[in-house]
Chains A and B, each alone.
Chain A
């Protein structure tokens, strides 16, 4: 063994007898992935197992699957998908489209950081009475000191998990909330269904998809770091599909909006000579 090995609690591989770099068996948290899981386990089972170290119950896997469907495609208007399409339209490598989607979809306005902050708020609620949850969830305060994982992020502009430009809760958000709440072990999603209007009043904004996703992830027992990763991951399918579609459409069928240049040296020159 090398003096500087990798360490993992997730994955154990046994080598083929004639090749130390080829895998004979691979176990994920003890389960034989290719010998037993393959053909029996769903994708959601595998994702759950990787993150949590235990096989999910059928109900847990179904709820994660449902969340994955809800998040799979935010649609081409979403900045994350739009970013991936910028890769598709110009013929960038596939990975570049997904990297663009991840970078844009990481943000704290409608992106994974929004979910992360929301899950941090939910963590604050873990030992508190339900009557205090709305206050915790609608906070927007900046930390006095930047924690290591706060560095680089812009100032928080709105409570995490709410739509900064919304008028009322979008129908698809309500549908997602109702469906996930009906299969949730609780307590957050069922509470959110009954308290949504009061919560939105406290925030001054309607609930966003990120807020529902964060409550679902919290009810499923994922922490903020896990939830952020999963949210990034689960929204990639739509980004990938739209990037490929845009590559087919070509640049002539991709928006290139007009520009209104507010600081044009040509105007300054004309004003000076007028």
Chain B
């Protein structure tokens, strides 16, 4: 780091290659005039252009957005959706509800954190295999050293109903020949052969596709932002239309207390 000079150079001005709005005139988006050169892009393609700085092939976007369709369950019991529903129940605003539910989706055992680690794992594993490691040795060593595998196993269910749909579409789109998809299945088969309850789920499948598409963990993390979004809106709406507080109401008796017994506050 180079001291306060670095900050001083950036003070009072936004120096950017990403774009700017000139209200009433034009807007620039990553070096292109938004209303002339990019106006015909659909919204997801523009999001991808914003993330990658290049036009992402349509079939890659289609695969990921279809996976979001398959992952958008309007079930208010799911933890992220539950936040949207609870916000509806307390009569908070839709935007606050969805923003908070989206923030919750950056979890470690599902969602954004899970995919991030799965992609990181595939990239590092492939490097190790390229350097001569054997997959069984590598996986066993990973687990022995305390590694926690992302994208294999599922907190609520052992199978993943979204897998065949995603794979079917990927095949149709010609996206199933990549080395990381093969690696993901090799890992799945290895765990199956050892009897471990670590079967591949949609997170690892999408992460394998992301690796095959050449996406970085950060790009993948950002591109997957919409994954659960569509299912959140109905959860908010229904809760907002029920009587206030009537979504997940909890009577006192439904809280199991497991702490210290009753005692007196120390006098000071």
Residues in B neighbouring A1, C-beta threshold 8 A:
253-254, 256
Decide if B116 touches A265 in the complex (CB within 8 Å). Answer: no
Among A5, A30, A258, contact of B256 (Cβ-Cβ < 8 Å): A5
From known contacts A146-B116, A151-B113, infer whether A265 and B265 are also in contact, taking CB-CB under 8 Å.
no
B144-160 contacts to A, CB under 8 A, are 145, 147-148, 150
A165 to B7, CA, bound (A): 8
**How many residue-residue contacts, CB under 8 A, span A and B?**
167
Residues in B neighbouring A268, C-beta threshold 8 A:
31
Residues in A neighbouring B18, C-beta threshold 8 A:
263
A1-36 contacts to B, CB under 8 A, are 1-2, 5-15, 20-21, 23, 27, 29-32, 36
Query: Distance in Å from the Cβ of A147 to the closest Cβ of chain B?
Result: 7
From known contacts A36-B264, A258-B12, A261-B19, infer whether A148 and B109 are also in contact, taking CB-CB under 8 Å.
yes
A222-274 contacts to B, CB under 8 A, are 257-266, 268
A265 to B36, CA, bound (A): 11
Decide if B116 touches A8 in the complex (CB within 8 Å). Answer: no
Tell me which of B19, B256, B267 has the highest count of chain A C-beta atoms within 10 A of its own C-beta: B256
B123-137 vs A, Cβ < 8 Å mask (1 yes, 0 no): 010000000000000
Among A14, A103, A150, A258, contact of B13 (Cβ-Cβ < 8 Å): A258
- Is B106 in contact with chain A by the CB < 8 A criterion? yes
Decide if B15 touches A260 in the complex (CB within 8 Å). Answer: yes
Residues in B neighbouring A30, C-beta threshold 8 A:
259-263
- Is A120 in contact with chain B by the CB < 8 A criterion? no
A165 to B6, CA, bound (A): 7
A61 to B149, CA, bound (A): 41
A13 to B251, CA, bound (A): 10
Decide if A259 touches B113 in the complex (CB within 8 Å). Answer: no
A214 to B113, CA, bound (A): 25
Decide if A145 touches B31 in the complex (CB within 8 Å). Answer: no
Among A21, A95, A164, A266, contact of B252 (Cβ-Cβ < 8 Å): A21
- Is B250 in contact with chain A by the CB < 8 A criterion? yes
Q: Which of B57-65, B95-103, B174-182 contacts A (4 or more CB under 8 A)?
A: B95-103
Tell me which of B96, B103, B251, B267 has the highest count of chain A C-beta atoms within 10 A of its own C-beta: B251
Give the nearest-CB partner of B31 in chain A.
A263
A205 to B116, CA, bound (A): 31
- Is B39 in contact with chain A by the CB < 8 A criterion? no
A264 to B15, CA, bound (A): 12
- Is A202 in contact with chain B by the CB < 8 A criterion? no
B228-268 vs A, Cβ < 8 Å mask (1 yes, 0 no): 00000000000000000000011111111111111111111
From known contacts A260-B13, A262-B17, infer whether A152 and B113 are also in contact, taking CB-CB under 8 Å.
yes
Decide if A9 touches B259 in the complex (CB within 8 Å). Answer: yes
Q: How many residues of B contact A (CB 8 A)?
A: 67
- Is A96 in contact with chain B by the CB < 8 A criterion? yes
- Is B28 in contact with chain A by the CB < 8 A criterion? yes
Query: Distance in Å from the Cβ of B143 to the closest Cβ of chain A?
Result: 11
- Is B221 in contact with chain A by the CB < 8 A criterion? yes
B52-80 vs A, Cβ < 8 Å mask (1 yes, 0 no): 00000000000000000000000000000
- Is B20 in contact with chain A by the CB < 8 A criterion? yes
A143-184 contacts to B, CB under 8 A, are 144-152, 154, 158, 164-167
Among A21, A36, A53, A266, contact of B260 (Cβ-Cβ < 8 Å): A53
Give the nearest-CB partner of A36 in chain B.
B265
Query: Distance in Å from the Cβ of B7 to the closest Cβ of chain A?
Result: 5
From known contacts A6-B256, A10-B259, A257-B12, infer whether A96 and B96 are also in contact, taking CB-CB under 8 Å.
yes
Residues in A neighbouring B265, C-beta threshold 8 A:
31-32, 36-37, 40-41, 55
Measured CB to CB, the residues of A under 8 A from B are 1-2, 5-15, 20-21, 23, 27, 29-32, 36-37, 40-41, 53, 55, 58, 93, 95-96, 99, 103, 144-152, 154, 158, 164-167, 205, 257-266, 268
Pairs A–B under 8 Å by Cβ, sample size 15: A6-B250, A8-B258, A27-B262, A37-B265, A40-B265, A40-B267, A146-B117, A146-B121, A148-B113, A152-B113, A165-B1, A260-B13, A261-B17, A264-B28, A265-B33
